[in-house]
C-alpha cells in the first residue's frame, strides 16, 4: 500500500502521488521520456517548475528548433510533433533547411494534449527541493515546493531532465559541466520577442546589403551577426555603429540573431542578448544578477533596432 505521508526534516509531508516513473523537468526531453514511458504502460508524472511544458522551446522562447545534424534524430516521436504543428496551422518547414520553425504557445498546448492523452500527470509550479534515498543511495522520493506547500512524490524510478542536473546533484551523483580548458559553459542567451515589425521591409533591406546568411524568405526568415567569429556578418557594422555612439555596449553587440515566428505575423524571436560567461546558470546569485543584466541589454538592443533598423520603426 502506498504511503500517504512521509517524514522529512522533522516534518510530516503529504505524498501526493506514487508512480512508476517520476520525470523531473518538463522540457523537450522530459516530455518525450514521459510520453514514451506512458505509452508503454508506465504510470508517469512530470515535475515542472514553470507553467508550461516545453522548457526552453516554450518558456525560454527558443524558436525555431535547430537540426541536430545527427542521422536518425527525426524519430517517430519528433515526426508526430511536426504533424501536430501542421494540424495546428503552423508551417514548420521552410522548404530549404531541416530547421523546425514553430510557435511557443502552440507547442505548449501540443505538449499538454500529448500528456493528457497518454495519462501523464503533470505538476506545474513545482520546484525540486530535495531527494530521499534508501541505504543503497537509490532515490525513493522527491521533495517538492508546490502551490500547496512542501509535498513528496514517490516512484520506482526517476529521470533527471532538469537541464542543470539538479536531481543528480541532490542525489550526490557525479556531474560534469563546462569546457575542460576554461570551465565555462556556452554563454546563456536571455531571449525575447518583438512585435509590430514590417517583415517585408526588413527582408528587402537585408537583401539590399547582399546578406546571404539566411537562404530562406518570409514567412521563414532569419537575421544574424556575431563578433569574433570566422564568418563576417553584414550586420556587424550596423551594431558596431551603435557601440561607437554609446547606444550599445560591446557586450550587447557580441551576438545577435532573430527569427520570424509562424502564426505570429510581424513578430520575431530574438536569440539574444548573449550574457557574459561570468553569469552562471547553477549559481543562484550570479543567475539572478544575470537576469537583471540581461534585461538591461534587451532594453538597449530593442531601442537601437527600433531607432535604426528598417522594418523595426513601429516595433
Query: Cβ neighbours of residue 46 under 8 Å, at least 6 residues apart?
Result: 23, 25, 26, 30, 31, 34, 53, 115, 120, 121, 122, 123
- Tell me the pTM: 0.93
Confidence category of residue 1, pLDDT binned at 50, 70, 90: low
Confidence category of residue 177, pLDDT binned at 50, 70, 90: confident
Question: What does the pLDDT look like over 93-121, one tens digit per residue?
Answer: 999 988 999 999 999 999 999 999 999 99
Confidence category of residue 240, pLDDT binned at 50, 70, 90: very high
**Sheet bearing 255-260, strands edge to edge:** 192-194, 268-270, 255-260, 222-226
Question: What does the pLDDT look like over 278-311, one tens digit per residue?
Answer: 998 889 999 999 999 999 999 999 999 999 999 9
pLDDT score at 119: 98
Using CA atoms, how far residue 88 sits from 57, 84, 107, 110, 281, in Å, is 17, 6, 9, 9, 34
Question: What does the pLDDT look like over 192-201, one tens digit per residue?
Answer: 999 999 999 9
Question: What does the pLDDT look like over 8-43, one tens digit per residue?
Answer: 999 999 999 999 999 999 999 999 999 999 999 999
Neighbours of 138 (CB within 10 A): 13
Confidence category of residue 69, pLDDT binned at 50, 70, 90: confident
pLDDT score at 71: 86
Domains along the chain?
5-63+103-170 (3.50.50.60), 192-308 (no CATH)
Confidence category of residue 230, pLDDT binned at 50, 70, 90: confident
> Average pLDDT, whole number, for the chain?
95
Provide the grid cell at 291: 537576469
Give mean pLDDT, residues 45-69.
94
Query: Cβ neighbours of residue 134 under 8 Å, at least 6 residues apart?
Result: 140
**pLDDT of 184 strictly over 90:** no
**pLDDT of 259 strictly over 80:** yes
Q: What are phi and psi of 158, to 5 degrees?
A: -135, 145
In percent, the amount of the chain with pLDDT more than 70 equals 99
Amino acid at each position: 500500500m502506498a504511503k500517504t505521508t512521509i517524514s522529512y526534516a522533522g516534518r510530516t509531508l503529504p505524498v501526493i502521488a506514487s508512480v512508476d516513473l517520476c520525470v523531473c523537468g518538463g522540457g523537450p526531453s522530459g516530455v518525450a521520456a514521459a510520453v514514451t514511458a506512458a505509452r508503454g504502460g508506465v504510470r508517469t508524472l512530470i515535475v515542472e517548475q514553470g507553467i508550461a511544458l516545453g522548457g526552453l522551446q516554450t518558456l525560454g522562447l527558443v524558436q525555431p528548433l535547430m537540426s541536430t545534424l545527427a542521422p536518425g534524430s527525426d524519430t517517430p516521436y519528433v515526426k508526430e510533433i511536426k504533424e501536430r504543428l501542421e494540424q495546428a496551422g503552423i508551417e514548420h518547414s521552410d522548404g530549404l533547411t531541416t530547421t523546425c520553425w514553430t510557435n511557443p504557445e502552440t507547442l505548449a498546448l501540443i505538449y499538454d494534449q500529448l500528456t493528457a492523452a497518454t495519462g501523464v500527470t503533470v505538476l506545474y509550479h513545482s520546484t525540486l527541493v530535495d531527494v530521499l534515498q534508501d541505504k543503497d543511495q537509490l532515490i525513493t522520493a522527491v521533495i517538492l515546493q508546490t502551490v500547496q506547500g512542501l509535498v513528496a512524490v514517490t516512484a520506482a524510478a526517476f529521470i533527471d531532465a532538469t537541464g542543470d542536473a539538479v536531481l543528480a546533484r541532490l542525489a550526490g551523483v557525479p556531474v560534469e559541466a563546462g569546457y575542460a580548458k576554461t570551465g565555462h559553459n556556452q554563454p546563456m542567451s536571455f531571449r525575447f520577442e518583438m512585435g509590430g515589425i514590417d517583415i517585408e521591409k526588413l527582408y528587402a533591406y537585408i537583401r539590399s546589403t547582399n546578406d546571404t546568411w539566411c537562404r530562406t524568405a518570409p514567412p521563414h526568415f532569419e537575421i544574424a551577426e556575431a563578433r569574433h567569429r570566422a564568418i563576417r556578418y553584414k550586420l556587424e557594422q550596423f551594431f558596431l555603429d551603435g557601440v561607437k555612439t554609446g547606444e550599445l555596449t560591446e557586450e550587447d553587440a557580441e551576438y545577435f540573431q532573430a527569427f520570424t515566428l509562424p502564426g505570429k505575423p510581424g513578430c520575431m524571436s530574438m536569440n539574444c542578448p548573449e550574457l557574459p560567461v561570468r553569469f552562471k546558470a547553477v549559481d543562484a546569485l550570479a543567475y539572478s544578477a544575470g537576469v537583471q543584466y540581461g534585461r538591461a541589454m534587451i532594453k538597449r538592443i530593442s531601442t537601437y533596432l527600433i531607432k535604426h533598423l528598417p522594418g523595426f520603426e513601429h516595433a
